Amino acid sequence: MMKLLVSVRSLKEAKEAVEGGADIVDVKNPGEGALGASTPNLVFKIRSKLRNVELSATLGDLPNLPGTASFAAFGAAMAGADYVKVGLFGSTTLSDAIRLSSKVVKACRGTGSKVVLAAYADYKRFNGLNPLLLPKVASASGADGVLVDVRRKDGGCVFDYLTKGELMKLSAEACGLGLISALAGGLNAADVRCVQRLGFHIFGVRRAVCRVMRNGSRVLDRSLVATLHRLIREVKKTIT
């Protein structure tokens, strides 16, 4: 069954996500970017309080600095993350992406943490790495999974930048290599059936499960998480 990943900024939000039925709690700081890093302290705190949930931690929209990336990855793994998400922002070529990813995989070896490599559907806007190369990078570096997200959170959606055919090809290639595949970037409840049919294992959200407050801030709402989680389960039944 496709899993629901919910990105959180605090322990309180993590608890809300779990109460709503999130399969994976993803710790990140949206203020630092699409895959903005939080702190190892928060990851450790959430891990200590929520022992039975799968926990993901983002390392940030990383520059092409393999040593820096590997230190960050080791910290996330030691703090208790089951998944370490690597934003390949500064790695614009295939060789650079493989080199950085290999260092991260090596840093996480023996920790029990899975490495998920992320690239951005809107890569052409900043001359980034084509996300369709992710399965090749993951296979060459020994990573466990791939994620396609959107870099600039300006109301756009992943489907604004990549076709469903391209995304299906990516997920099929990842599956053939034994990789986890995840999709995020402006997704909402209306996209569940499509993402399921495209073959992705993980459906990632934040905006879709947040209430917008009067001051413009977004607050995670467990009822919205529960509604989305229920829809994913129902869609799975109708498709199979």
Task: Tell me the catalytic residues.
Answer: 28, 85
Residue 134: half-sphere exposure toward Cβ, Cα within 13 Å? 37
Strand, helix or coil for residue 218: strand
SS percent in the chain: helix, strand, coil, step 5: 45, 20, 30
Strand, helix or coil for residue 212: strand
Distance CA 99, CA 70 (A): 11
Distance CA 25, CA 106 (A): 24
Q: Is residue 113 a contact partner of residue 81, using CB atoms and an 8 Å limit? A: yes
The one-letter amino acid at 21: G
Nearest to 133 by CA among 180, 178, 189, 88: 88
Nearest to 39 by CA among 15, 54, 60: 60
Angle between helices 94-108 and 134-141 (to 10 degrees): 40
